[in-house]
Amino acid sequence: MASTPSVPLLKDELDIVIPTIRNLDFLEMWRPFFEKYHLIIVQDGDPTKVIKVPEGFDYELYNRNDINRILGPKASCISFKDSACRCFGYMVSKKKYIYTIDDDCFVAKDPTGRDINALEQHIKNLLSPSSPFFFNTLYDPYREGADFVRGYPFSLREGVPTAVSHGLWLNIPDYDAPTQLVKPLERNTRYVDAVMTIPKGTLFPMCGMNLAFNREIIGPAMYFGLMGDGQPIGRYDDMWAGWCIKVICDHLGLGVKTGLPYIWHSKASNPFVNLKKEYKGIYWQEELIPFFQSATLPKDCTTVQKCYIELSKQVKAKLGKVDDYFIKLADAMVTWIEAWDELNPSAEKSTELPNGAAAAK
């Protein structure tokens, strides 16, 4: 049994956001690790369905009626019938940190057979610096039993604040539909004991299944886009957010880590349904990736909101010709920021970050 700290780390500074269309029995397995934290449940689909939450959890639950009531016309930027709806939970939270997890993700075991307290590891990742400017070959130098290796510049060893901690998955890996179709029986059994900073200038495929972030320094950029009902694409919610946050983190001098912790992803979603959702994204992304790789933000973009609005302008100007969808998405990115600032009025103030960058308060 993993050790559960007597006073859970960041107990009153972190919310757990769960998008769901199901009952939340999976929480029973997470009780030792989650029970002391506040949950924000975003119920997708039919708002008249009653979602059962196990006894003893402190939570707030929002369905589509709540989202429409709270945001009014701005609710148009929150996806319906897609896990992208989870970003509403990021917006209504008042905490400094967010952990989001899917409801089919269970507690995994490490090679010694101990239950993995994924939340504790994410918190460690977020509370220790990142090293995006120079790759450390012994991976995360701030972990117990590791350090910077010979040749690592001392001027860079202080690192930068960590904005995102991207966890992984044992059992069902987060594969796209084509890969799922050709490898239906493949399971991820490989536990890699590593946490590493994704180097500056490198994009990555961010999965929202087991993800934590510092809401204060990157929250406004964690918009999961327009997916699901009425949209030409799905299952690119977390990918879109990951490309946007990485460009902004690189610009603001913030770090993104990937690796531990693992969760146990219990079931594969239907690959044929997934293919229908993904297929446009599979060819669009061949144009999206070069766009994000070459995206630059002006020096006067010193807050996440300013960066995000600037990025939305570039999306409209450069991706509108790929498909009209990106014009709609660019507008939705602006609506998202307007809604964020409306619900988080103090967000417009900012505090200085290293390199003169600033983070939303």
Ligand X SMILES: O=c1ccn([C@@H]2O[C@H](COP(=O)(O)OP(=O)(O)O[C@H]3OC[C@H](O)[C@H](O)[C@H]3O)[C@@H](O)[C@H]2O)c(=O)[nH]1
Residues 6 or more apart in contact with residue 325 via CB below 8 angstroms: 226, 231, 232, 233
Q: Among 66, 107, 116, 84, which residue's Cα sits nearest to residue 17? A: 84
Residue 228 DSSP symbol: B
Give bridge partners of residue 264 from the DSSP assignment: 106, 170
- Residues 361, 213, 133, 146: is their CA dihedral positive or negative? positive
As measured in angstroms, the least distance from the Cβ of 315 to ligand X is: 20
Single residue of 10, 16, 17, 19 touching ligand X by CB under 6 A: 19
CA distances from 151 to 139, 154, 189, 360 (A): 14, 9, 34, 35
Site string for ligand X, 31-60 (x = CB under 6 A): -------------xx---------------
Whole-number CA gyration radius for the chain: 19
Is residue 235 part of the contact set for ligand X (CB under 6 A)? yes
Q: Is residue 102 within the footprint of ligand X (CB under 6 A)?
A: yes
Residues 280-309, one symbol each (x = binds ligand X by CB under 6 A, - = not), give: ------------------------------
Q: Which is nearer to ligand X, 148 or 264 (CB)?
A: 264
How many whole angstroms separate alpha carbon 10 and alpha carbon 224?
A: 25
Provide the minimum distance between the beta carbon of 44 and ligand X in the complex, in angstroms, as a whole number.
3
CB of 276 to Mn ion, least distance (A): 17
Residues near ligand X (CB under 6 A), total: 21
Which residues from 259-278 bind ligand X, rule CB under 6 A? 269
Examine residue 237 and tell whether it contacts ligand X (CB under 6 A): yes
3-class SS letters over 114-131:
CECCHHHHHHHHHHCCEC
CB 186 → ligand X: shortest distance, Å? 15
Phi/psi of residue 77, nearest 5 degrees: -85, -10
Nearest distance from C-beta of residue 236 to ligand X, angstroms: 8
Q: Which amino acid type is present at position 77?
A: C
Give the nearest distance from C-beta 226 to ligand X in angstroms: 14
Does residue 64 interact with ligand X by CB under 6 A? no
Find the binder of ligand X among 238, 250, 278, 310 (CB under 6 A). Answer: 238
The reply on whether position 104 binds Mn ion by CB under 5 A is yes
Instruction: Work out whether strand 14-20 and strand 38-43 pair parallel, antiparallel, or are unpaired.
Output: parallel
231 binds ligand X (CB under 6 A): no
Least distance from ligand X to the Cβ atom of residue 165, Å:
15
Q: Which listed range, 114-122, 233-241, 303-311, 346-354, lies at the site for ligand X (CB under 6 A)? A: 233-241
Decide: 257 and 197 in contact? Cβ < 8 Å: yes
Peptide bond into 8 cis (omega under 30): no
Number of chain positions touching Mn ion (CB under 5 A): 2
Pairwise CA distance, residues 306 & 285, whole Å:
25
| Distance (Å) of CA 321 to CA 226, 333, 360 | 18, 17, 32
Instruction: List residues near ligand X by CB under 6 A.
Output: 19-22, 44-45, 81-83, 85, 102-104, 174, 207-209, 235, 237-238, 269
The footprint of Mn ion (CB under 5 A) covers 102, 104
